[in-house]
A = this chain, B = another copy of it.
Amino acid sequence: MADVAAEAHVSVKTVSRVVNHEPGVRPDTAERVRAVIERLGFRRHDGARLMRQGRTFTIALVVEDLANPFYSQVGAAVEREARIRQHQLITASAEGSPSRERAVIEALVNRRVDGIVVVPADESASSDAVLEASHTPIVYMDRPVRGTPRDTILSDNHGGIRSAVEHLVAHGHRNIAFYGDDPAFWTARQRRDAFVATHEGLGLPGSPRVSMGPHSSGSVQETLVPWSRGPEPITAVITGNNRITLAVLLALREQRLPLSLVGFDDFELAALIDPPVTVVHQDPAAMGQKAAQQLFARLLGDESPAQTVVMPTRLIVRASGLRRAALNR
């Protein structure tokens, strides 16, 4: 900028005015400056600018794994909201490690990002002190965190599972098993608890048959086989997420068990499997959008108390929830 100023025989301040389209520059002066800018290929150094202004026009997203379709859809939505507002997005993976997450967040705070959206690795709020001291706004997604109340965007796990159970019951199922993921995950526990509660609420027979992961096709079969034989054999299965749905589908195929199924999380090509898989759909794009919007509201000065938003799920009925007898007719 100094170069441009010298070349155009004006002060840096005038160049600055031209670059930022500030008023109060004579048109011919402005034109002369622009010509020099063009000739020298000058580009404003946004780092310096933003440092002076105290904001970075950057937000960050911290997730477990960017390659996971759930997170990548969240990422796309957050990036879109950021772009609309002239902000840039830094994305970082914590790989499910709380310590790495903490390190990542500290690095982001050191960079003075304006705000952070994070899918927390655990509930420990290990970055609370840093965030508090730096006044960096944060929005948690998908899972809540202990400690200081913060804006949090969750999925309606309970409602989703309930709709799955009710759907199966409406189609005549009474004996339904639930396969969930590792109970270390908050969402896995939520969905399990929702299943048990709904099971009892509807007065289904016996005690709820629940198997928590981590699961593979093999580990699923260990309970799937006895449960579908013995007395009161199960006729349907509900799964706690994408990964478990896959394991159960493989297990059903391997054992040639004609059980009905409702999965949590929609997945690509669920409609092409035979029979097409009925799922509880959560909307990662909507969640990401909501999280980003909430973050920007804070950046714009919203000082209202932290709020938790529960995003609705939607049952996508295909065919796997019907009774197999009905399907074959």
Which applies to chain A's interface (DSSP): helix, strand, loop or mixed? helix
Q: Which residues of A (282-308) have their CB < 8 Å from a CB of B?
A: 285
* Contact in complex: B51, A47 (CB < 8 Å): yes
Q: Which residue of B lies closest to A103 (CB)?
A: B83
Q: Which residue of B lies closest to A253 (CB)?
A: B272
* Contact in complex: B56, A66 (CB < 8 Å): no
Tier of interface size on chain A:
35 or more
Oligomer copy total: 2
Q: Which residues of A (28-66) have their CB < 8 Å from a CB of B?
A: 41, 43-48, 50-51, 56, 58, 65-66
Contacts of A107 in B (CB 8 A): 46, 88
Partner of A272, one of B69, B72, B250: B250
A184 within 8 A of B: no
Partner of A79, one of B83, B93, B246: B93
Separation of A68 and B268 alpha carbons in the complex (Å): 11
Partner of A76, one of B41, B76, B93, B111: B93
* Contact in complex: A90, B88 (CB < 8 Å): yes
Chain A interface residues toward B at CB < 8 A: 41, 43-48, 50-51, 56, 58, 65-69, 71-73, 75-77, 79-80, 83, 88-93, 106-112, 130, 133-134, 246, 249-250, 253, 267-269, 272-274, 285
